[in-house]
Structure 1
Amino acid sequence: MDLPLIWAFILAFAVLAYVVLDGFDLGVGILFPFLPRHEDRDTAMNTIAPFWDGNETWLVLGGGGLFAVFPLAYAVVMPALYAPIIAMLLALVFRGVAFEFRFRTVRWRGVWDIAFFAGSILAAFAQGLALGTIVQGIEIEGRAYAGGWFDWFTAFSVVTGVAVVIGYALLGATWLIMKTEGPLNRLAARHAWIAGAGTLGLIGVVSAWMPFLQDAFYWRWLSFPRIALVAPIPIMVAGAAFLLFRSLANHESNRRPFLSALSLFALSFVGIGISFYPNILPPELTIWQAAAPDSSLGFLLVGASVLIPMILAYTSYSYWVFRGKVREGEGYHQHGH
């Protein structure tokens, strides 16, 4: 059994689960200033209230898993990304506090709304910065990080940061289309058009830029005959975009816009996977070099094979229990409870 490769897939799955699940609830926070009525903001918050903290389980699994399974990658990534990761964690703390306090006060509600919006946008931007930094390549000498303090701050990483913010806003808007009705549903649909166009444009910019960051990316995506093998990914992205805009044009207030937006994220993620493999950190640290000994990986795999199905089961159950539309004035968090 190729344990490092199995673990690479498990961690990739955890990261994708986090991006998809926490993406829409960060997205709802990013849309807060664009929901003018405070009743709409209450309803929007109630759509994510049962799920938001469970969604962050995957972040813990991804980060903790990286530390346990690929300790060398963790040791290189952390110093390279201290600033964005600390910013992201503080932003998530702020968001969590705002979540609880917003429903406890009327006078300070505006302040907590701002905290919730600022925490959401900063967390999303920091995740994009981290992604951009890893994609552009991290300098490694020997077995340690060899770059500077601000290597994470480049034109490319800022563009990926903005791309993640707008992409999450799209997930948030399509989630609200699925979970709300009436004027809020129509408002979310308008925001989904704008965020959808922005997301597609930025996927295009980042995809066009990536092959020129590293020779390996160029060779993998633009050299013949490999281009024929990877061509289905951009074609499927175009298909997902078509389905997204068609479902928005048809005013479908069901799952289709949300599922189309999720598939855009999943396909982009697969594209990044194709670019990286067999490296865990481009340009040269491979999955096998970064992995812990096989005895550790085997031991951890036993635990993961019990825990991950449990997490999937309770996550699925919570989404099933709280399925359906959330109406104004109803919800998980209400005054007086």
Structure 2
Amino acid sequence: MTVPFDLTVLWAFIIALAVFIYVVMDGFDLGLGILFPLFPGKQDRDVITNTVAPVWDGNETWLVLGGGGLMAAFPLAYAVLLPALYAPLIAMLVGLIFRGVAFEFRWRTRATRNLWDIAFTGGSWVAALAQGIALGAILQGVHVEGRHYAGGWWDWLTPFSILTGVSLVVGYALLGATWLILKTEGDLRDKAYRISWYLMIAMLLAIAAVSLATPLLTNQYAQRWFTRPAVFLTAPVPLAVVAVTVLLMKNLAQKHDVWPFFLALALFFLSYAGLGISIYPYVVPQSITIWQAAAPERSQLLMLPGVLVLVPLILGYTGWAYWVFRGKVGHDSGYH
């Protein structure tokens, strides 16, 4: 059976969408954990965790959808990338486990609350750093022979992957700070404004550093960004980054509570778009295209109706949760 559109491209879009939604939705609550040491007061920390308490569990649904979708729709890419990224992926999962357990347990005890706060911060840092390192390792390419990963255990650890890891930590921290601007008030919000200025500058420097380093990895990336006619299609991305940055600076200066968070999300979207421009049509850069990695068309077609129902359903209940718990969170708010 044939279909009148390219199923492989559609599945690539679905998985890319799931990963992006995970990054932006779980990114800001990881960012809150990263920022925890800057807010040592118990009341402030309670408010910070209360801002995400109703929604943080659901954010990781998208990680499961992205990983499961990759395994089902692009099994060859899954089989190659997983052994190449065992160490950072295991570190990410351990970090997420510590972060999740600490989030719940810090409310249940007074004697060891500080230890759980440390675990919450540490888990957030490890998970964010590991995600960024995994991204850098994929971008720089993995050693593939035939249909198998042929590299070593430590191939993922390079200066470039460390750069992308640190950059993602900075980006998540900015999302967390602007989320606090959106959800809190008083001194806590004012401190979040001050922190956001520093993090915005740090994120711009990180974007610039990764953008300059990426074309040096391979000629394919350089041609995609700096040769004609491709440059006419890619140039709007950095121009849009400049425009969004100006708007973000303006809204931070004027202390608009709502827009800084969504403008920070826009910076993430533009960075993600730049990533897509760099690697398309490869799912394993420089080695395996999405068509080479794809499952048989019958398998893709069989899974499609479920995903077309599941994705709107997840979007629906996620949007409803955020709508129900909209508004500011004060010191009198409680988590049970």
Could you tell me which residue of structure 1 aligns to residue 214 of structure 2? Answer: 210
1:10 to 1, 7, 14: 14
Rounded to whole Å, the distance in 1 between the matches of 2:109 and 2:243 is 45
Aligned to 2:283, the other structure's residue is in SS state strand
Equivalent in 36, 53, 56 of residue 52 of structure 1: 56
Percent of paired sites with the same residue: 58
What is the CA–CA distance in structure 1 between the aligned matches of 2:83 and 2:233, rounded to whole Å? 36
Match of 2:125 among 114, 121, 124: 121
Partner of 2:240: 236
Give the structure-2-normalised TM-score. Answer: 0.98
Q: Could you say which residue in structure 1 is the equivalent of 2:83?
A: 79
Looking at structure 1, the residues matched to 332 and 118 of structure 2 have their Cα atoms a distance apart, in angstroms, of: 21
CA distance in 2, matches of 1:318, 1:303: 22
Q: Judge which range, 172-181 or 103-112, deviates more.
A: 103-112
Q: Paired residue for 2:322?
A: 319
Counterpart-to-counterpart distance in 2, 1:325 and 1:154: 42
Deviation at 1:284, TM superposition (A): 2.3
The total of aligned residue pairs comes to: 332
For residue 302 of structure 1, the aligned residue among 302, 305, 330 is 305
Q: Could you give the per-residue CA deviations for residues 173-214 of structure 1, whole angstroms, max 9, x where no partner exists? A: 000000000000011111111111111100000001111101
Q: Please list the CA deviations of residues 34-93 of structure 1 after superposition, one character each: whole Å capped at 9, or x if unmatched.
A: 012110010000001011110000000001111111000000000000000000001101
Structure 1: give runs of 5+ residues left out of the alignment: none
Distance in 1 (alpha carbons) for counterparts of 2:151 and 2:249: 42
The residue number in structure 2 matching 1:262 is 265
Report the Cα distance in structure 1 between the residues aligned to 2:94 and 2:216, rounded to whole angstroms.
33
How far the C-alpha of 1:224 sits from its partner, in A, is 2.1
- 1:245 is aligned to 249
What is the distance in 1 between the residues matched to 2:249 and 2:114? 33
Deviations 1:239-294 (A, max 9, x none): 111111111111112x2000110000001001100111111111121000000000
Report what 1:19 is aligned to.
23
1:152-231 superposed matches below 5 A: 152-231=156-235
Distance of 1:86 and 1:25 partners within structure 2: 20
TM-score by length of 1: 0.97
Q: Following superposition of structure 1 onto structure 2, how do residues 100-115 of structure 1 map, counting pairs within 5 Å?
A: 100-115=104-119
Residue ranges of structure 2 left out of the alignment (5+ in a row):
none
Letter in 1 for 2:123: G
Partner of 1:328, secondary structure, is: coil
- Of 120, 142, 166, which residue of structure 2 is paired with 1:138? 142
SS at match of 1:150: coil
Residue 31 of structure 1: SS of its match in structure 2?
helix
2:289 matched residue in structure 1:
286
